Amino acid sequence: MTRTGWYELSDKPGPFDLRRGDRVLHGGRWSTIVGLYTPGSSGRGRVLHLDDGHLYLLRPTERVRTYRRTPGG
């Protein structure tokens, strides 16, 4: 089974927090997250390291289309 939805970054992790292996729609194509980092000293937002080599900063209140496979589906 595949779970698809919009992920909106908040100050606290939510029930649909991004994680490694999730697929995100970035630049018109789907890419896999290979790493997640907290940027700089502010700690606000997440840097997504994508399998195509791009780094993408997702700030609070920004939304990204995401899907993930769920086990047992």
Is residue 36 a contact partner of residue 18, using CB atoms and an 8 Å limit? yes
Identify the residue with better confidence: 11 or 41. 41
> Tell me, what's the pLDDT at 73?
52
Q: What is the pTM of this model?
A: 0.75
> Tell me, what's the pLDDT at 62?
81
Mean pLDDT of the chain: 79
Pairing of strands 63-69, 23-26: antiparallel
> Tell me, what's the pLDDT at 63?
83
C-beta atoms surrounding 33 within 10 Å: 21
> Tell me, what's the pLDDT at 58?
85
Residue among 28, 47, 51 nearest 38 (CA): 47
Q: How far apart are CA 49 and CA 20, in angstroms?
A: 9
Overall average pLDDT of the 40-64 stretch: 84
Give the residues across from 32 on adjacent strands: 23
